Structure 1
Amino acid sequence: MPSVTPVEGTPGSTAIDATTTPSRRVRDVVKAYVALMKPRVIELLLVTTIPAMLLAQRGIPSVWLVLATLVGGTMAAGSANALNCVVDADIDAVMKRTKARPLATHEVPVRSALVFGIALGAAAFSWLWLTTNLLSAVLAVVTILFYVFVYTMGLKRRTSQNIVWGGAAGCMPVVIGWSAVTGTVGWPALVMFGVIFFWTPPHFWALAMKFREDYAAAKVPMLPVVASREQVSRQIVIYSWVMVAWSLLLLPATSWIYGSFAVVFGVWFLVFAHRLHNAVRRGEPGSPMKLFHMSNTYLMLVFVALAADAVVGLKTFGLPF
């Protein structure tokens, strides 16, 4: 099991004790705790939750239900991310990309971050149970536990396939959103889960190609650290094709609106993936960060098309769900 940075008051502790921390404005403290939640990651998760709820309703759910689900989802994701920061504090301090995070800079004591993460998780469960249903609350807790114990503590430092399986936690918001509306987990929710699941490796491996030296220094065996650039770019192409094909499995639950945009955006993604692979095969550096940023746009556009289809779709392709 990976080591956790010692808490203040224990031998070898590197965190600054609350009694010796220079006084800071409340705003700075709040900003540090918000940073623990990784709000930019949460934004992307919420972008997928709303379309899932619209599709489940086949229209617009109550505003209260949407807001309640988003609040609960934010707390759950924030909990998982804060606890991830606690476990990965040693890694974050080594990597240039993450060395400014609150625990790496000692802006927040490790013990406080741990309590904060656990409290957020408990609040997410209680909130979702009270405002949506028990299934959504349980799914949120399962997601937190999976992300912290299976991915962060179990897979991340042990296998190059860490992000493939660990990325499943990032797929859960669509399932939670669906269950908040229906009280069940229908097959379209599982298809949406799969779209994000197959999207995660191309998205994250493109980033890891750029920051390969960071991960190598932190001894995290991301695929770009242990495999050649050509092998990584080939895997990106393979997962990209599977992702685009999988996205079309939603056709029986949608109309021509989603179908047409899913194809167009899918082809767009594949062009970027193949460009990267072809450049690497020619011995050129390629532009993995272009694919990384484009992958965020792709996911947003596909789910926006799904949301539009759910609200104004004219004709479904198949049977109702």
Structure 2
Amino acid sequence: VAIEHPRDLLAVQLAHLGDFYNGNGPVQRDRIARVLPSWDKSVPGYGYVLGMYAFGLEEMADYARAEDTGHQALALNRRDPWATHAVAHVLEMQARLADGIRFLTATQDDWAPDNAFAFHNWWHLGLYYVDIGDTQKALDLYDTRIRPKESGMALEMVDASAMLWRLTLLGVDVGARWKPLAHSWAPRLEDGLYAFNDCHALMALVGAGRLEEAELVTALLANAARRGGTNARMAGDVGLPLAKGLLAFGREDYEGAIAAIMPIRHIAIRFGGSHAQRDLLTLTLIEAALRAGRTTVARHYLAERLVQRPASGLGARLMQRCA
């Protein structure tokens, strides 16, 4: 549709989101580039197209252009949460943590009110606080902004699982927060439609100590891998090995977690999600290596992460544990 009607904003957005969920970063960027010549400031909605392009650029690590394009989009429509989100991603990937906190805090009156996507930008703010070591602030955001009440919305539950898993990896006591989250995931366990979500459901189950149900998710991913369609590839290539690794981690089988996660890190884009979301695989692998006494493995992957994010406080603290 977008080929014949490049100004069909809904078609462009749906294709953009489809590319994201399918883990197709180059197409996510280039699909928007192909329609951009049909847009300019005189066309309503141009800012939204720029916001999508900014995110596509960010996911292809073109950070300078992504940030500039995101700010161009926000100059046209400061309430665009997707353009805000694209800039937030750049700041997270470059570990410009103070800049990220200032940016999202200063603009929250633009992107947060009456916006169903606000929880995800709050999640990004939480990531900055996790990185600088202010885990209490991250927990406060979880309680008041990311998941202030039980919700069955998958995107919200994914962010909640990802935040609690990060904090748990760092040894933070998240209290009883896993229990209601696992309860919200429970009715969706047999959907088996998107391996990325299934693995986040499994995190909640492991966190809540519901390991038998976590095993069920692993079995469902194995079934999904045998079926046809896009999700079969996602489940088989990344989802099932990751689920096994997460379950092993929950059982304190850290060698098993390393063995499952290490081979899939560099193909994890096939799984969908963003760089920031998939960073959870690396963090889990590093923590498993540290707990297994495999400091050379932990140092190996931390070195890679610190080259990408040299100012990361989290990376520096983890590297100190390798000494």
TM-score, with length taken from structure 2: 0.32
| Greater RCO, CA 8 A, separation 6+ | 1
Larger-Rg structure: 1
TM-score (norm 1): 0.32
